[in-house]
Chains A and B, each alone.
Chain A
Amino acid sequence: MKKLLTDRLKITLFVPLLTSATLSTAAMAEDVSALLKAADQFRLASDEMQVETQISTYNRDGSKEKERRYMVFSQKTHQSLVLMQSPAEAGQKVLMLGDDFWMLMPGSQRPLRITPMQKLLGDASIGDIATMSWSQDYAGKLVAEEPCEAPAAVGQTQAQTQTCLRLSLDATRKSAAYQHIDLWLGKAKHEPIKADLYVQSEKLAKRASFVMDKTQVPAVVSEMVLLDQLSSHKETRVRYLSRKPRSIPEQWLNPMFLAKNPSLE
């Protein structure tokens, strides 16, 4: 008798679950690539952009540890040039050409080839500010629809709970800053809500959340908030100060050109 009841209970639970899974599979048929392209639009309006960012790092007690400014030229086919602009780093430059990286230190006129691991150095890695295209760098699947809490938009004080699409993404390039990402997008607009970022060793490195410019009709991501999960447990806020389409000359993407001082006008 007990066994019969158990079997009936299993059937009672299993059938709706099976139905739900079938429905979810249909939903998951939605093109993940299209979702990522839509999400990218909230951070990048064009394939070739000039983006000015400000990165502020906060200690566990909420005090500000440091603030840095970067000018990022994000170009087609995974090419980015990053110019450091804060006094502490003025003159430093990083060039990313696909899976290859170079750095120029201000005390030297010599571009150094660096490894992807060296690119990760810092609370907000160069990857966080220069690798902006999920659709180009990741592939994966839609895992579920679930409620999630979106950070308060600019000018708002309260976080909003909404229905999100949860995506599980794996990097298609070895040099991507994070090899695995769990990403939550808003169901209606596909704007990025939050992300768990994993490094190659499968450790959860950072938890990201995205602050939009407006709650109801979000157009752009105003700020990305990163919470370190590995060691420092610091909070890093990446603010996008300005964005504009900008195509740079091909010689700016030659590593040896880093020793020059390109005009930003």
Chain B
Amino acid sequence: MKMFKKTALVARLALLTVVLTSLLTAQVAAQTSNGSGQVRALLSQQSVNPASPQTQASQLRADQELESVQLGVLEAELHFGIKGINAIATVQGQSDGSGNTRSDIWLNELVAAWGQGAWQLSAGKKIVEWDVGYGFRPNDVVQQEKRRSLITVSAIGRPLLMAEYFDATLAASLVWVNPATSSSRNASGLLEKGEEQALAGRAYYRVGTVDLHGFARYGVDSGASAGAAVAWVASDALELHASSRYLRHSESLSMAAQTPLLVRGSAWHTELQNNLTQTLVGLSWSNEDQHNLILEAWWDGSAASPQQWRDWSTRNQNLLAAVPKLVGLAPALAGSLMGQNQLLSSSANLHRQNMFARWSWQSGAWQPAVDVLWTPADNGVVSSASLAWQGDQLRVDAGVRWYGGASDSVLASLPVRKLAYLSMTWAF
């Protein structure tokens, strides 16, 4: 039965996207001077975590059996450029194991650029990425992309106007982000990350083996922040990097200590934190045999504190303990449990203290890799193992990621316990 579901899933995806992809590819090839792209098929399967408050809440509401969640994605990404205009477009079809399908098309980038000399101007939707870290980038203040994704995908750019200056050793950028957009807030009342009008600037200067970066940002709602970063190649094998950002204000979610188990609406309210820092230090090391190691540690002052997570865990337990006593209120208790998950997405990091290690080895066309993220505050662990094969045009990626660690850690309480994926990418 499962095999039948998978076959049907792939067939639906193919039907949804191949025609669109072919049409778009032919169009691009015919009309642009510089076109390339890729077609990707991705199958993933998530094992749900029965200990997660979200899983228990969904069982209370729907009395459902726990099932693995399958997802199939077929997408085509097209890059094209002509006379100073560059674009990246994605066509995507998705199908889950239950037969639900959807298709979508979006522009990652559509930007016009002027200037061949020292000064250059850009306008449109553009991907702008800054900072020096791998696991966390406090100064990636324009794009604010998700880190540690399983598969490398193109980010979705921001609407912006950008002026840049380059000479041999200096680069400076001034960006007006979301010039025609007003701020938007998510269901928790927090500012959507990067979805506000802002001015951001970066200055870069190269001094021999050292790259120096300075950053500043002023957001209409989030206020001012400033940062600096450095990358230094200390020896043939070793690169060291560090990045730090100071934020005058940052919004976070808070819950009063005496909040009752059942409340109308959300139990969370937004709170303004003042004078925060985010700091990362790290290194990358490589040897002649093509082994590569990345070690990083970072502090994110905007993340929830250990006490907030202890309160979160206590409230989860109290809500679950109340179910047998208040049977008639089970759906409402389940709703409160679901609401607890808002804290999981309130910041780029779950914890303030984070340690990250990644080993990879390039051996011909093959690249095995293993990485671990550890949150020392509660001994939570996310570990991943992957294997990639790269041919002339075909790339195959497969891997598994586990969420766990100490049983009372936040990472062990996430709705997902394990995630496996297989991806095939054809570049053209």
- Contact status A99-B209, CB under 8 Å: yes
A-contact bits for B118-140, CB 8 A (1 contact / 0 none): 10100000011111100000000
For B131, the chain A residues whose CB sits under 8 A away are 110
Given known A88-B395, A256-B166, contact A115–B233 (CB-CB < 8 A):
yes
* Contact status B168-A113, CB under 8 Å: no
Q: Are A109 and B128 in contact (CB under 8 A)?
A: yes
CA–CA, A257 and B167, complex, Å: 9
Q: Is A48 an interface residue (CB 8 A)?
A: no
Sampled A-B contacts (23; CB under 8 Å): A66-B392, A86-B392, A90-B427, A91-B36, A91-B79, A101-B233, A107-B152, A109-B155, A112-B132, A113-B233, A116-B237, A117-B236, A117-B237, A117-B286, A117-B287, A121-B286, A234-B364, A249-B116, A253-B168, A254-B166, A254-B167, A254-B169, A259-B129
B364, A232: Cβ atoms closer than 8 Å: yes
- A interface, size bucket: 35 or more
Chain A residue at minimum C-beta to C-beta distance from B233: A115
Contacting residues, chain B, for A113 (C-beta < 8 A): 132, 211, 231-233, 239, 241
- Which of chain B's residues have a CB closer than 8 A to the CB of A112? 132
In the complex, are the beta carbons of A108 and B167 less than 8 A apart?
no
- Interface membership of A201, Cβ < 8 A: yes
A255 CA to B208 CA in the complex, in Å?
12
Give residues 173-232 of B contacting A (CB, 8 Å).
204, 206, 208-209, 211, 231-232
Q: Are B288 and A251 in contact (CB under 8 A)?
A: no
Please measure, in the bound complex, the distance between the C-alpha atom of A87 and the C-alpha atom of B81, giving whole angstroms: 16
Q: How far is the CB of A190 from chain B (nearest CB, A)?
A: 31
> For the complex, is A12 an interface residue (Cβ under 8 Å from B)?
no
For B286, the closest partner residue in chain A by CB is A117
Answer whether residue A67 sits at the interface, using C-beta atoms and an 8 A cutoff: yes
Cβ of A157 under 8 Å from chain B: no
Q: Once the chains are docked, how many angstroms separate the CA of A260 from the CA of B109?
A: 13
Total A-B residue contacts, Cβ distance less than 8 Å: 124
What are the residues of chain A within 8 A of B235 when measuring CB–CB?
115
Chain A residues near B19: list those with CB within 8 A: none
Instruction: Name A's interface SS.
Output: loop
- Chain A residues in the interface with B (C-beta under 8 A): 65-68, 86-88, 90-91, 99-101, 105, 107-110, 112-118, 120-123, 174-175, 199-201, 203, 230-232, 234, 249-251, 253-257, 259-261, 263
A100 and B209 contact, CB distance less than 8 A: yes
Known: A123-B364, A200-B236, A260-B120. 4 other contacts (CB 8 A): A88-B392, A91-B79, A115-B285, A203-B288
Asked whether B167 lies within 8 Å of A250 as measured between CB atoms, the reply is yes
- Could you tell me the distance in whole angstroms from the C-beta of B390 to the nearest C-beta in chain A? 6
Residue B391, interface by CB 8 Å: yes
Cβ–Cβ contact A231 & B393, under 8 A: no
User: Once the chains bind, are B284 and A115 in contact (CB under 8 Å)?
Assistant: yes
CB within 8 Å for A231 and B289 given contacts A91-B79, A251-B167: yes
**Interchain CB contact under 8 A, A199 and B206:** no
* Bound CA–CA A263/B83 (angstroms): 9
Question: Bound complex: CA of A65 vs CA of B365, how far in Å?
Answer: 9
Residues of A within 8 A of B168 (CB): 250-251, 253-254
B392 touches A87 (CB 8 A): yes
B130 touches A100 (CB 8 A): no
Q: Is the CB of B129 within 8 A of A108?
A: yes
Contact of A255 with B206 in the complex, beta carbons under 8 Å: yes
Q: Quick one: which of A87, A232, A253 contacts B393, CB cutoff 8 A? A: A87
Which of B127, B286, B362, B393 has most A Cβ within 10 Å?
B286
Q: Chain A contacts of B36 at CB under 8 A?
A: 87, 90-91
Query: Is B275 in contact with chain A by the CB < 8 A criterion?
Result: no
Residues of A within 8 A of B152 (CB): 105, 107
